[in-house]
Amino acid sequence: MEDEKQLQAVMGLIMNGGNAKGSAFAAIKAAKKGDFEEAQAKLKESDQFLSEAHNAQTGMLTQEAQGDHQTVTLLMVHAQDHIMNAITFRDLAGEMVDLYKKLAE
């Protein structure tokens, strides 16, 4: 049962990371078209996905800190990679939206 809980948590990280990156990319596309309201909405959506991922990640870290050690699998490493890339992409997307906004002014 613990393996099933861990698998669900890991898959949640992957899904939320992918969704966060997708929303951030949609923000860049919207800004490129000059739709800054949509761009901001997509950045906010990306932040919500990252918040969900962060909460799941924090739960896993808390369990580890309490001595409930989990087996590190390739899938878990992949999930962490998704989150790190999504965070980086979200930060870059915010900068790109700002740049497109300045160019439009």
pLDDT per position as a tens digit, 61-89: 888 888 888 888 898 999 999 999 999 99
Run of H or E residues at 45: helix 36-65
* Domain 17-104 in CATH 1.10.1520.10: no
Q: pTM of the entire structure? A: 0.88
**Of 17, 10, 9, whose CA–CA distance to 87 is shortest?**
17
CA–CA dist 27, 23 (Å, integer)? 6
pLDDT at residue 58, rounded to an integer: 86
pLDDT at residue 86, rounded to an integer: 95
Instruction: Cite the active site residues.
Output: 78
CA–CA dist 37, 12 (Å, integer)? 28
Is 98 annotated in a binding site? The answer is no
